[in-house]
Structure 1
Amino acid sequence: MTNTRESRNLDAGALKALAHPLRVRIFNLLSERGAQTASSLAALVGETSGSMSYHLRALAAHGLIQEVEGRGTARERWWELPKGSVYLPGPGESQTPSNRAAAQIVTSEFFRQRHETLMAYIERPVAQVPEEWRDVGLITTSYLDLTIEQMTEVSAELREFIDRVTERYRGQSVPDTHRVSLRAELFDLPTDARTEES
């Protein structure tokens, strides 16, 4: 199946614009919660609306976010993420020292916040979860012994599945929907991580 989602590789300017913990948080909140205003984002992160507007304009200047068409007023603008996925280069992929530093900030902050979201889910009191939503989540880890060809194949199958599910359910507005997080991780472990079975 061909990946029909648009994908954007961040250039140096966009990467540097995103290289701020609060801007990564804004980016994640827009992804998790959908369109927001400076005021609603400020309430979520404990910042002033003026500070939030400054960071939103910086992100918009590099196309990382965009104004929602036909929504809001000149005084209250709504912001959203553009459609499609974003590729974040790792620090090792960036050519200049400043690009590498920006990539390190973005990557570290993204995964720190991602881990916080996961831990909040794990530690959420049962009383705060509607009964019908209990025990439907999935957190699983498997350890496999793969060749590079097999890992490439599994990675492609996972991407295809995620793309298919994302296209199927993106933007639906039916009763009883909740925003959910779908994650997939597949990476090689250090070569000394495997121990021979006895």
Structure 2
Amino acid sequence: MTESDPTATRPERVLDAGALKALAHPLRVQMYDILSQYGAQTASSLAALTGESTGSTSYHLRALAKHDLIREVEGRGSARERWWEREKGSVSFTNPEAMKTPSGRAATQVVMTEFLNRRHQQLLRFVGDSIRTPAEIDDMTALISTANLRLTPDQAKELNERFSALIDEASDRYRGQDEAGTQPYTVRVDVFALPEGGN
């Protein structure tokens, strides 16, 4: 699983075991994801968004910063109110070396499960909101689609590459916009093999 930022100049970072373990906490995953989706935040704003105390979010921000997962925003804030942002660049949560150890596999599973749970909850909230207030939702601003295909592994790889290229193109064009009328969107593509026999 990869958290993408194709506009960045640095190559994809594969998280080492230490960074995976530092991220492997539900609140840290939530905070990291908020920074990815909404941009720079303070411990206070993260506390308001997560329902945690400022002391708790401040502690977890320092833990994330220790492993270079986030950084303080230069020239913004004060000694009392520090702003934090996610490091630029794509991040892979799947590290082959970490997967060789039980603790590395456990940390990877926590991180990936928390990210996917968060994405699923966001999708369910969007669907619920669009059902409650259909007049306020423009059908063309969202796409929720499932297609079931029979593919060879090579065909699946080709499809993944085409999706990635399209997402990279959109990211290059639109990431970082801050004009009136823009809001955060998440783009999610799932391509994976189903078990044989429907189990």
Fold agreement, TM-score > 0.5: yes
Which of 138, 151, 164 is matched with 1:134 structurally? Answer: 138
Report the counterpart of residue 150 of structure 1 in structure 2.
155
Aligned CA-pair RMSD: 2.2
Report the counterpart of residue 70 of structure 1 in structure 2.
75
Quick one: higher RCO (CA 8 Å, sep 6+), 1 or 2?
Answer: 2
SS of structure 2 residue aligned to 1:79: strand
Distance 1:31 1:82 in 2: 9
Which of 153, 169, 177 is matched with 1:164 structurally? Answer: 169
Displacement after TM superposition at 1:193 (Å): 2.7
SS of structure 2 residue aligned to 1:94: helix
The answer to whether the 8 A contact 2:19-2:69 is kept is yes
Which amino acid in 1 is paired with 2:49? L
State whether structure 2 residue 108 is matched by structure 1 residue 103.
Answer: yes
Distance 1:47 1:91 in 2: 33
Which amino acid in 1 is paired with 2:148? Y
Q: How many residues align?
A: 191
Q: Which runs of 5+ in 1 are unaligned?
A: none
The answer to whether the 8 A contact 1:38-1:56 is kept is yes
Report the counterpart of residue 44 of structure 2 in structure 1.
39
Q: What do residues 78-126 of structure 1 show as CA deviations (whole Å, max 9, x unaligned)?
A: 0111111110117996111111111111111111111111101110156
State whether structure 2 residue 64 is matched by structure 1 residue 59.
Answer: yes
Report the counterpart of residue 8 of structure 1 in structure 2.
13
State percent identity of aligned pairs. Answer: 51
Q: Pick which of 32-41 and 81-90 moved more.
A: 81-90
The higher radius of gyration belongs to 1
Alpha carbons of structure 1 residues 127 and 71: separation in structure 2 relative to 1, 3 Å: farther
The answer to whether the 8 A contact 1:36-1:80 is kept is yes
SS of structure 2 residue aligned to 1:68: strand
SS of structure 1 residue aligned to 2:91: strand
SS of structure 1 residue aligned to 2:192: coil
TM-score (norm 1): 0.89
SS of structure 2 residue aligned to 1:113: helix
The answer to whether the 8 A contact 2:7-2:175 is kept is no
Displacement after TM superposition at 1:54 (Å): 0.5
Distance 1:25 1:70 in 2: 25
